[in-house]
A and B are shown apart, each in its own frame.
Chain A
């Protein structure tokens, strides 16, 4: 078993495309849940809307930046649609509506026809859209693969990773500026106790809506980097469905909710761990340490998720505040 290459590939994932787009989406979810207390269980819906908005626009010859803008506007509309009926109600209503809406969005993208209108022409139906990313790839300044002493990326990945992490850093700066402001204070106040905020003259509905839109925009950006990286957008659950939402949640919780760098570090560690467990299990199996009657090659892919789940339970038991969280803070009774 080649521990050297396992380690190298793990480190690669730590900085790879997946970590970057997870981080962007997780920054958005952290604005929702970590700072505002909004229960968004349909974050993949924002990612999907952003991704499809971008892909469909590019496919139809819209310039890249405008296509990004269209994706962001679509995500804004999605947030307003979800927020308007639910944000005046108890917190759990948003949770239910986001789960459902994200799934509805994905199924609509997969549909061939909606109300007699041939949507497949635009969305590609169940095969999705492929090869739309050329306007992005054409901007790639790298001439070949990139090898630094700790990571190496293909020419394509190097470009996506560069743009992805640049966006992550800008987003972190943005969140830092926003959360230290009085605006951020109102957001956190609403998280702690909405009625107390209202009693002090703060418009809780409006601030929750702002948070929903803003976090949704980062989700959409994450979705865009994801599909640009693989130059393909697919309406599958793995890519843009509930499992993706769950992964983003794991990344946020792992890093520590309501912390500036939490979602970023959480995403990096989560991506790296997924890779590490996969490679290690495969290695064990090839060496015969894990006999095939116990687990075959296909099952390895599933077992690593079992292990991740187990790891998450241990985290909750021994470090429920996540990596950056403050245990003291978590111990406070909220309200």
Chain B
């Protein structure tokens, strides 16, 4: 993707709802889908996450950025039930999530992908997809033994899976083991598989990382299309071009806390953010020059 893509035209409609939102950490949103309060997660002496208040607006794409080790993945884990915070409460679409195990969170409509892609290697691509569908009658052992009980539903699921495979350009790999896919194709499969659950909020942890540039554009297109179908998207990304291109709102994390929020134009110029990135070691893959240029322009 290129930096000279005109950005405002693409995202303006969804972002409109956010124009009046204060550009400060923890700012209230007109229609929050996910609200987190006082989330703290410590690993021994290290406080990996310390989020006082965060609201994620419904129906927009929110980018979660921050240097390596800022706590983005841990925050995803906490929100989706893969890890338990030491303190804090959060609710998703009005439902308190604190006590729910990961699979219940997913069934409620908050579905995440993983930074390190999890393809189910020794299942075919289509089986990977079909697994994602919820409320399957045949997932009970006894009903599963009797195919007539679940056969019709299976055909529906398969049709939906095939449509998604087409959309994600994976149809030609349908019968292959997922383990044979390239890194980029696995990212696509993971996203498509997550969509099989029909999530209302989808959390993508570095969906573009390690993806061949030829695939990045189509992945970006897919993420935008998720929002256009009315889903809420939160994604972690290091590449500022990508963030500029598709995000309606940016949340910046550093050392476990939210340090800034706002549209990407404002974030690029934010001194706290620049300091946070400068304060980190050289392995921080975010290109500061890019932020500055964008902020100045």
Report whether A200 and B197 are in contact in the complex, using a CB–CB cutoff of 8 Å: yes
Report whether B193 and A200 are in contact in the complex, using a CB–CB cutoff of 8 Å: yes
Q: Which of A42-50, A67-75, A188-196, A227-235 makes up part of the contact surface?
A: A188-196
Query: Given the complex, which residues of B lie within 8 Å of A195, measured CB to CB?
Result: 82, 102, 114, 118
Best-buried of B82, B141, B177 by chain A (most CB within 10 Å): B141
Query: Given the complex, which residues of B lie within 8 Å of A182, measured CB to CB?
Result: 130, 136-139, 144, 150, 154
A258–B80 alpha-carbon span in the complex (Å)? 31
Q: Which residue of A lies closest to B137 (CB)?
A: A182
Query: Given the complex, which residues of A lie within 8 Å of B132, measured CB to CB?
Result: 200
The reply on B113 being an interface residue by CB < 8 A is yes
Q: What is the count of residue pairs linking A and B with beta-carbon distances less than 8 angstroms?
A: 120
Given contacts A181-B145, A193-B118, contact A202 B150 (CB under 8 A): no
A198–B193 alpha-carbon span in the complex (Å)? 13
The reply on B284 being an interface residue by CB < 8 A is no
The reply on A138 being an interface residue by CB < 8 A is no
Smallest beta-carbon distance B99→chain A, Å: 15
Quick one: which of B2-29 are within 8 Å of A by CB?
none
Q: Which of B56-64, B119-127, B209-217, B252-260 makes up part of the contact surface?
A: B119-127
Report whether B118 and A335 are in contact in the complex, using a CB–CB cutoff of 8 Å: yes
Q: Which of B38-46, B104-112, B273-281 makes up part of the contact surface?
A: B104-112
The reply on B134 being an interface residue by CB < 8 A is yes
Quick one: which of B223-282 are within 8 Å of A by CB?
none
The reply on B147 being an interface residue by CB < 8 A is yes
Interface size on B, residues (CB 8 A): 43
The reply on B47 being an interface residue by CB < 8 A is no
Contact of B180 among A178, A200, A332 (CB under 8 A): A332
Report whether A198 and B82 are in contact in the complex, using a CB–CB cutoff of 8 Å: yes
Q: Which residue of A lies closest to B113 (CB)?
A: A199
Query: Given the complex, which residues of A lie within 8 Å of B82, measured CB to CB?
Result: 195, 198-199
Best-buried of A185, A199, A328, A335 by chain B (most CB within 10 Å): A199
A186–B130 alpha-carbon span in the complex (Å)? 10
A192–B154 alpha-carbon span in the complex (Å)? 21
Best-buried of A177, A198, A258, A334 by chain B (most CB within 10 Å): A198
Report whether A193 and B138 are in contact in the complex, using a CB–CB cutoff of 8 Å: no
Report whether B122 and A188 are in contact in the complex, using a CB–CB cutoff of 8 Å: yes
Smallest beta-carbon distance A33→chain B, Å: 13
Report whether B145 and A199 are in contact in the complex, using a CB–CB cutoff of 8 Å: no
Quick one: which of B197-219 are within 8 Å of A by CB?
197
Report whether A196 and B114 are in contact in the complex, using a CB–CB cutoff of 8 Å: yes
Q: Mark A175-216, 1 if CB is under 8 A from B, else 0.
A: 001101111111011011101111111111100001000100
Report whether A196 and B147 are in contact in the complex, using a CB–CB cutoff of 8 Å: no
Report whether B118 and A196 are in contact in the complex, using a CB–CB cutoff of 8 Å: yes
Q: Mark A32-48, 1 if CB is under 8 A from B, else 0.
A: 00000000000000000
A97–B178 alpha-carbon span in the complex (Å)? 32
Query: Given the complex, which residues of A lie within 8 Å of B114, measured CB to CB?
Result: 195-196, 199
Q: Which residue of A lies closest to B139 (CB)?
A: A182
The reply on B52 being an interface residue by CB < 8 A is no
A101–B80 alpha-carbon span in the complex (Å)? 34
Report whether B131 and A197 are in contact in the complex, using a CB–CB cutoff of 8 Å: yes
Report whether A183 and B144 are in contact in the complex, using a CB–CB cutoff of 8 Å: yes
The reply on A174 being an interface residue by CB < 8 A is yes
The reply on A329 being an interface residue by CB < 8 A is yes
Report whether A183 and B141 are in contact in the complex, using a CB–CB cutoff of 8 Å: yes
Q: Which residue of A lies closest to B157 (CB)?
A: A182
Report whether B102 and A198 are in contact in the complex, using a CB–CB cutoff of 8 Å: yes
Report whether B144 and A332 are in contact in the complex, using a CB–CB cutoff of 8 Å: no
Query: Given the complex, which residues of A lie within 8 Å of B103, measured CB to CB?
Result: 197-198, 200-204
Residues of A within 8 A of B (CB): 174, 177-178, 180-186, 188-189, 191-193, 195-205, 210, 214, 258, 328-329, 332-335
Task: Show 13 residue pairs from A and B whose CB-CB distance is below 8 angstroms, ordered by the A residue.
Answer: A174-B145, A177-B145, A186-B139, A189-B120, A196-B120, A197-B103, A198-B81, A198-B82, A199-B114, A199-B194, A329-B122, A329-B177, A334-B122
Residues of B within 8 A of A (CB): 80-82, 101-104, 106-107, 111-114, 116, 118-123, 127, 130-132, 134, 136-141, 144-145, 147, 150, 154, 177, 179-180, 193-194, 196-197
